[in-house]
Amino acid sequence: MAAKLIKILGNCQRSPSTGSRFYSSQVRKCTMIPGDGIGPEISQAVQKIFATAKVPIEWETVDVTPVRGPDGKFGIPQAAIDSVNRNKIGLKGPLMTPVGKGHRSLNLALRKEFNLYANVRPCRSLEGYKTLYDNVDVVTIRENTEGEYSGIEHEIVDGVVQSIKLITEEASMRVAEFAFEYTRENKRKKVTAVHKANIMRMSDGLFLRCCRDVAAKFPDIKFEEKYLDTVCLNMVQDPSQYDVLVMPNLYGDIMSDMCAGLVGGLGLTPSGNIGINGALFESVHGTAPDIAGQDKANPTALLLSAVMMLKHMGLVEQARIIETACYETIKEAKYLTGDLGGKAKCSEFTNEICAKISAH
């Protein structure tokens, strides 16, 4: 009798697939964190574009304004954390970092929840937006958990401060493996490990060894090691010689921002954080409170991050359609928002992209 009951219960309970790959007939839930400032309007724009493209995603919008918890401290509402844990995929808009408030930053909380270990930032020159560099097509993959940002600092004596940079084999192997897999999946050719092992022999040496070990497992992908100064020097002279860069935390932070500067700034660069328990894609620009609510915002960064999310989930075809529509709209330069030098509104830009998708 009990066995029959258990069998019936077992049949009733269908756990939703929690893997990151799934088939396009199944509707997938994603957490959407609109953010502050221009966040809500660009999130709406992205949702509209996805609806037009008939992407099988159901958005679960959560609000992450900190609330006072039962212990009196401010914290992220539990509903948000639960949603994010359930869905394993999130899209985040720009968040205002409050100054002087007593709660832990949301970024830190999410990083811990998902165990986000790699930050991916593809930087590609946009054809309609002219900068001095038009042949940039670089992906920077940065180790996200340790390195110089370990936060271990102490004052030894008055006037002498020591900060510790931590490099572990486990984290380095993880990010190196991710880098090579990403290169293979996106049909890229070359991985460059950026380091400073001539000065920091043991720490960057360990990172480099891990990269070399992983490179041996991927013989079809070219692997090279370059010093940080050389990469900086060559990147500003000729960015086309680099393909995928993998590096520890600090160098990655600086290089990814520099590459973003080459293509036109943070308003146009997508960013994805990959973790063990899920992935979070976000736009890295600010909240722009001065243009919030005026329909002037540029949703490109969030849109391209969402496209990255689709590729990560395996919906490559829809990702390609939306991405092409976006690039074409910018290339035509008829409907460009203020930061790209045009006068169109956010809604006009969105509608144009939707029109292109429908025409497809």
Give catalytic residues, as residue numbers.
Answer: 149, 196, 229, 253
Query: x/- contact string, 246-285, with other proteins (CB under 8 A)?
Result: ----x--xxxxxx-xxx--xx-------------------
The residue among 8 and 161 lying less far from other proteins, judged by its C-beta, is 161
* Residue 94 C-alpha from the chain's centroid: 12
Take residue 351 and report the two structure tokens written for it: 């509608």
Region binding other proteins by CB under 8 A among candidate stretches 29-37, 222-230, 302-310, 319-327: 222-230
- To other proteins, the closest distance from the beta carbon of 184 in angstroms equals 26
Q: State the nearest-atom distance from the C-beta of 195 to other proteins, in Å.
A: 12
Q: Which residues contact 160 (CB under 8 A, 6 or more apart)?
A: none
224 binds other proteins (CB under 8 A): no
Classify residue 241 by burial, with Cβ atoms within 10 Å: 0-12, 13-18, 19+. middle
For 108, 141, 174, the CA distances from 313, given in Å and listed in that order, are 24, 18, 20
Question: Shortest Cβ distance from residue 162 to other proteins (Å)?
Answer: 5
Which secondary-structure segment (H or E) carries 21?
none
Who's near 135: CB < 8 A, 6+ residues apart?
125, 239, 240
Among 148, 177, 295, 348, binds other proteins (CB under 8 A): 148
Least separation in angstroms between residue 209's CB and other proteins is 10
Closer Cβ to other proteins, 63 or 170, answer by number: 170
Q: Closest Cα partner for 330 from 112, 130, 99?
A: 130
**Of positions 161, 212, 317, 332, contacts other proteins by CB under 8 A:** 161
Question: Closer CB to other proteins, residue 232 or residue 333?
Answer: 232
The neighbouring-strand residues paired with 67 are 75
Instruction: Please report the sign of the dihedral spanned by the C-alpha atoms of residue 321, residue 190, residue 124, residue 246.
Output: positive
Q: Which chain residues interact with other proteins by CB under 8 A?
A: 131-133, 148-149, 151, 153-155, 158-170, 196, 198-203, 205-206, 226-230, 232-237, 250, 253-258, 260-262, 265-266
